[in-house]
Structure 1
Amino acid sequence: MTELRGSGISRRGLLGAFAATLVTAAPTYSNAAGFLRGGGDIRRIKMYSARTGERLDMIYWVEGDYIKDAVEEVHKFMRDWRTNDVKYIDLRAIDILAASHNLLDVPEPYMLLSGYRSPKTNAMLRARSSGVAKNSLHLKGQAADVSLKGRSVNQIAKAATACRAGGVGRYSSSNFVHMDCGAVRSWGR
């Protein structure tokens, strides 16, 4: 597939995004859902965890309905791997991840670095780094930190930003992008 000059977003992905903007998501719902509507009658999430060795390649939405068992698998996969605590992952966060992945038009899965974080894990990470928020959306199951081997931090962040559906943080020195379903904002380089 032809890649737009240096952006990491394919022509097919960009055309799909433009087509998807014609369909408006419900006012209280994530804009990412609008991007996904242009992609057909299914939504799919593909990730792996280097921490646990687990892989996830799952259709979690079909023809307007979330698949309960599939969504529960996503919750389990995105658990706090340090404590093994599982929390409900906000469906908007999953949709943002899937929509961004569709725009990037790559076959490889995301590498999940962090999904849900327990208060204990978040406190430990805050003690080690000034870049960890005290009230992180990871604590609410509303954020994920991901990377892709075949795309740069800037390319992934541009795709996530194009969804206009939540926060996007670039962590180039650590080679990952933070995506969340909170307020639309961006930070980092």
Structure 2
Amino acid sequence: MASQGPFAATQHENTTDSSPLLGRRRLLGLGLAAAASSMMVPAAAFASTGSSGDKTLTFYNTHTDEKLKATYLRGSSFDKGALRDINHILRDFRTGDVFAMDLKLLDLLTELHWKTGSKQPFQIISGYRSPKTNTMLNAESSGVAKRSMHLDGKAIDIRLSDVKLKTLHETAISMKRGGVGMYTASNFVHVDTGRVRYW
């Protein structure tokens, strides 16, 4: 298989870098991540962005320098290994806690990436957030909700290096798939699968 740069695919098309943290992903993420990967959601519930029905996401964790390319949906079946890897790279980097990310959030990201025309990975600012981390951040900033959707694996803060922040924000809003917020000073956009609202 030909190389595709830093996200060259393996036989499962799920790749990570050689970070020691990712080397322990099977141990750290076995519990909740395995539960997430066993969820079977009808493929019809998700919008398709390709003729094959396969869905692939690429991520770069700005805090840990980890990279991931994972095809989490193949036709009508979810790839358990890919979901475990996605849950791991989106973990709370402060505590190492891994959580079952909302499959609808992954679908939202897949469609958002396609609609923006981006060729770059999503840069992760914040994925899952543990209660401990959320309490700490809430005490430090009024911009962090006490009952954040990050706690439920239903929110992510992102940027794309080849898409203007305003364009990313406006594209997410146009999808009407949940909450969308722009944080210009910190250079990221928040998206979640809650009720439709914008800021």
TM-score (norm 1): 0.78
Q: 1:64 aligns with which of 53, 61, 76?
A: 76
| Offset at residue 164 of structure 1 (A) | 1.7
| Offset at residue 38 of structure 1 (A) | 4.0
Q: 1:109 aligns with which of 101, 107, 121?
A: 121
Tell me the equivalent position of 2:11. none
1:90 alignment partner AA: D
Task: Decide whether the 8 Å contact of 1:97 with 1:160 is kept in 2.
Answer: no
The separation in 1 between residues aligned to 2:198 and 2:123, in whole angstroms, is: 21
| Runs ≥4 residues deviating over 2 A | none
Task: Decide whether the 8 Å contact of 2:49 with 2:114 is kept in 1.
Answer: no
Tell me the equivalent position of 2:95. 83
1:46 alignment partner AA: T
Tell me the equivalent position of 1:165. 177
Tell me the equivalent position of 2:50. 39
SS of the residue corresponding to residue 146 of structure 1 reads strand
1:185 alignment partner AA: R
The separation in 2 between residues aligned to 1:38 and 1:97, in whole angstroms, is: 11
| Offset at residue 60 of structure 1 (A) | 0.8
The separation in 2 between residues aligned to 1:185 and 1:50, in whole angstroms, is: 26
The separation in 2 between residues aligned to 1:167 and 1:69, in whole angstroms, is: 28
The separation in 2 between residues aligned to 1:38 and 1:91, in whole angstroms, is: 15
Tell me the equivalent position of 2:31. none
Task: Decide whether the 8 Å contact of 1:157 with 1:177 is kept in 2.
Answer: yes
Q: 1:50 aligns with which of 62, 67, 78?
A: 62
| Offset at residue 162 of structure 1 (A) | 2.5
Deviations 1:70-116 (A, max 9, x none): 11111111000000000100101111111101111111101101000
Q: How many residues align?
A: 156
- Which protein has greater RCO, CA pairs closer than 8 Å, 6+ apart? 1
Deviations 1:38-81 (A, max 9, x none): 42221111110121111011111111221111111111110000
Tell me the equivalent position of 1:177. 189
Task: Decide whether the 8 Å contact of 2:118 with 2:160 is kept in 1.
Answer: no
Give the RMSD, CA atoms, in angstroms.
1.4
1:102 alignment partner AA: W
Tell me the equivalent position of 1:140. 152
1:126 alignment partner AA: N
Tell me the equivalent position of 1:151. 163
SS of the residue corresponding to residue 52 of structure 1 reads coil
The separation in 2 between residues aligned to 1:113 and 1:38, in whole angstroms, is: 24
Unaligned runs of 5+ in 2: 1-42
Unaligned runs of 5+ in 1: 1-24
